[in-house]
Structure 1
């Protein structure tokens, strides 16, 4: 099956749907059994999508887990209450006191805070590395390095990483690679074919697609799935059946939504490149992006999230720019049907291993599903206010 067809059928095996189109919502804490033999069977097979206890999941959860594996790859998928929980759950599954973590310097800010404020307190050392390092990451690996964390593109500054090169080095040193694959969703990048061991998603974003559910996923290859599964379970991570159902429903329109997000974002990005106030547009799908060749090699498309840097603007000008929007809403997260705008005055404060090359403020946009001409009109008015 081709991708769009797989999205429609993924996770809809008859064992989960019965005779209806969508898997029913099955809410449960206690699972009861008629015989001791049934209880024993469930206990022995609780890791294989057999209902045993509510935290292990019900058929609603199993359907979503199967769907993510079918679309993204991987031997198994764990569910979490949000994307940040998926990141922490994946890291804590493979790190312990005395270990060393290599974290990309362009990482999502909560991932950096987790490393600096939580992992450090557990005796786990973190070294931040240049997202452009590629195979050169070999020089940073120590005897106690256990995990390399990647995020490509970075969700604020959009640097592309050479995922296969980093993963090849990691495999030679028996180091686990974890990729935050949220930007790509399960369909724009196939991380396991690139050598990644664990792929993390904030399903809150494009999988759910409607800005109304917090949910995370982490998928792993066959070698690392048992450890990820059991550690996440022991840490108490789980998600509600209602949220899993909502994610399954959002998943069905993922491909068609992403095509519109991509088309509109490229139109807006191209328009921004012509604005005299703009220093640069940070969109990996643009030929002008420094990581465009990696994007073309490893990704099958783009989405609605990108950023641009203004040549200059003070705090008052930025406030005038983003506070008077008609269609762009000011807020965090992304991946929903609505367009969003945020601003970062000083990117350098969010990194330690690399120098940010621009002095002007960064504006991040999520291009939603509104008419693109209305969005451009909104931005044109913002530049007038600026």
Structure 2
């Protein structure tokens, strides 16, 4: 083989053939080649960081899922939250955000935005229309997460959106729990819906990803511009894995929901449990709002135990075999974590009145009877049995 032939092979190896496949191609490329100089500066995408075929397919699927017209992919969920907020914030502005927001998002709002000259104030996730009392002349964003992270409050999103629209305020909602399947924030008038694809969309706890969705062309362009300025991108293999996860989302979510409800109902009857925080249970204080605005539930909820000594709680965790301790959720494996170390809420938040430790549970796809037996063994260990 001559050097010229080898060179020609190298330069044609990346060219796609005219063939149809079930799955979109994964194009691992930073450089995109063009035939003419005029195309070089006019065509999109002009660079691999902007995304290629598999990225466009994932964006299109997410738009269908969320009833959106525009989607921007990010490398993880926190980046998606930061991008959505950052695209709408400017120096001198004010942000209202739910007191039950995901901890790292709250940190970004209170630490990073403060350094950028943007003020942020927490609000009661159950305030509903009363949020109007907190709006300032410079309020530009209302940030929601429903259900709330760790404590699972359901906000009256339509009531908040109605007020925000009258005041020209952008609304953003973290829809990771709803996964675009159980909840449609854009249908309720929210301007921007955000997801950590890492969780249920991917569904196997093996890659990170995030997405920011909207219907408004102007808002979408602001998100795109901010993403370009920050250099945000998602690796092609991760985009492919997320797209593959979406194909089984409905099937997996049905299984998570059934198992989650079975365990939540079982825990409700346990003497060791003070309260189960699952919005699909009728005793949840926001059950009516959940039933109105959501089409289902999943495997993620929390429980508050009765007051217990830390040494006794340790025996509970040590006895578990199927439930593991680890952050994130949405995969096959069931998880349980103590939440008190990361529970940072405004003074006067109802959670201050809880009896014992707060535990967050993700019910995976193992056998539900086996999971119940595992928790039973933990409670037996607490009793010293």
Equivalent position of 2:203 in the other structure: 209
Equivalent position of 2:336 in the other structure: 341
SS of alignment partner, residue 208 of structure 2: coil
2:65 to 60, 65, 71: 71
* Residue 151 (1) aligns with residue 145 (2): yes
Equivalent position of 2:7 in the other structure: none
Equivalent position of 1:381 in the other structure: 377
Task: Note the aligned Cα RMSD (angstroms).
Answer: 1.6
Equivalent position of 2:9 in the other structure: none
**Per-residue displacement from partner, 1:134-173 (whole Å, max 9, x unpaired)?**
1111111111101000000012000000111111111111
Are the aligned partners of 1:55 and 1:233 in contact in 2 as well (CA < 8 Å)?
no
Q: C-alpha distance in 2, partners of 1:124/1:359?
A: 36
SS of alignment partner, residue 329 of structure 1: coil
Structure 1 residue 378: Cα displacement: 0.3
SS of alignment partner, residue 294 of structure 1: helix
Structure 1 residue 102: Cα displacement: 0.3
C-alpha change, 1:124 and 1:276, in structure 2 (3 Å) is same
SS of alignment partner, residue 127 of structure 1: strand
2:50 to 50, 56, 81: 56
Question: Is there any run of 5+ residues in structure 2 with no aligned partner, and where?
Answer: 1-15
Equivalent position of 1:31 in the other structure: 32
SS of alignment partner, residue 266 of structure 1: helix
Q: C-alpha distance in 2, partners of 1:18/1:116?
A: 51
SS of alignment partner, residue 146 of structure 1: strand
- The residue correspondences of 1:1-386 to structure 2 (distance < 5 A) are 19-42=20-43, 46=44, 51-222=45-216, 223-345=218-340, 349-352=344-347, 354-356=349-351, 357-386=353-382
Equivalent position of 2:11 in the other structure: none
Q: Normalising by structure 1, report the TM-score.
A: 0.91
Structure 1 residue 259: Cα displacement: 0.3
Question: Is there any run of 5+ residues in structure 1 with no aligned partner, and where?
Answer: 1-14
Q: Which has the larger radius of gyration?
A: 2
Are the aligned partners of 2:141 and 2:171 in contact in 1 as well (CA < 8 Å)?
yes
SS of alignment partner, residue 375 of structure 1: helix
C-alpha change, 1:53 and 1:353, in structure 2 (3 Å) is farther
Q: How many pairs were matched up?
A: 364
Q: C-alpha distance in 2, partners of 1:194/1:352?
A: 30
